A and B are shown apart, each in its own frame.
Chain A
C-alpha cells in the first residue's frame, strides 16, 4: 500500500481562526514532508521530519507550526493566516531518511482558502 491520506480535503478559514491539517501514512516510512503549492506553480518544500524530529524548516513563517506525534502522523497547525497563504498543502512520506532509496509518495492535498 503506497497511500498517504490527508484531511480535510478542503478548508476555508478566517484570518483569526486556528485550524489543523492532518496527514497519515501506514507504510512504515520514517521521513515525512509538508509542501505548499500555489496555483499554476510547482510545489515548494516547507518542512521535513526525519525519525519524528524536525530536520528542515524552509524559513516558513511561525503562523505555520508542524507537529509529528508519531511516525505515522504529521500535523500542520495554522494560526492567524493571511489570504496569500491560500494554496494546496501537500503531505508526502519516504522510506528512509538517510538511505539511498527515498522515493516520495504524496497525499491528495488539502485545498486551503483564507478569507
Chain B
C-alpha cells in the first residue's frame, strides 16, 4: 500500500510565527487531504488538494504530485491552531484514506 510520511512529528511555536508541515507519499494518488484533529477527536477538513495550490485565510497548501509531496503552510499562528495535523492520501477510487502519523503542533501564547 501507499506509504505516507509527515514531518516534523512535533512542532512548538510562539503565537504569530509561521510554519510549514510536509507530507511525502510513495505512489501516485487521486486524493490528498489535510485535516486538523481537535482535542475531541473531530477531523476538520482543511484542504482537498491532490495537486496544485489552494489558500484559505491564514492556511495554504501545495501538492506537487509528480514529486509526491505536499506542504501545509500556517501563517501568523494562533493558540487555536494547536492540535494534530494529518495528511491522508487515497490511491484509487474509494480505496479509503491512508493517514500519515501526523504533526503535533503546539502554539504557545
Interface residues of A (CB under 8 A from B): 2, 31, 33, 35, 37, 41-45, 48, 50, 55-56, 58, 88, 90, 92, 94, 96-100, 102-106, 108-109, 111
Contact = CB atoms under 8 A, between A and B. Distances in A.
Contacts of B95: 48, 56
A113 B48 CA distance: 32
B31 interface: yes
A104 B88 CA distance: 10
A103 B94 contact: no
Interface residues of B, number: 23
B43 A45 contact: no
Nearest to B42: A108
A98 B100 contact: no
Given A37-B41, A111-B41, A48 B101 contact: no
A99 B94 CA distance: 9
Contacts of B86: 42-43
Interface of B: 30-31, 33, 35, 40-43, 45, 48, 86, 88, 90, 93-102
A50 B100 CA distance: 24
B93 A45 contact: no
12 contacts: A35-B97, A41-B101, A42-B102, A43-B88, A45-B96, A56-B96, A88-B41, A98-B93, A98-B94, A106-B45, A108-B40, A109-B41
Given A50-B94, A97-B94, 13 more contacts: A31-B94, A33-B96, A35-B97, A41-B101, A48-B94, A55-B94, A56-B95, A96-B94, A99-B93, A104-B33, A104-B97, A106-B42, A106-B45
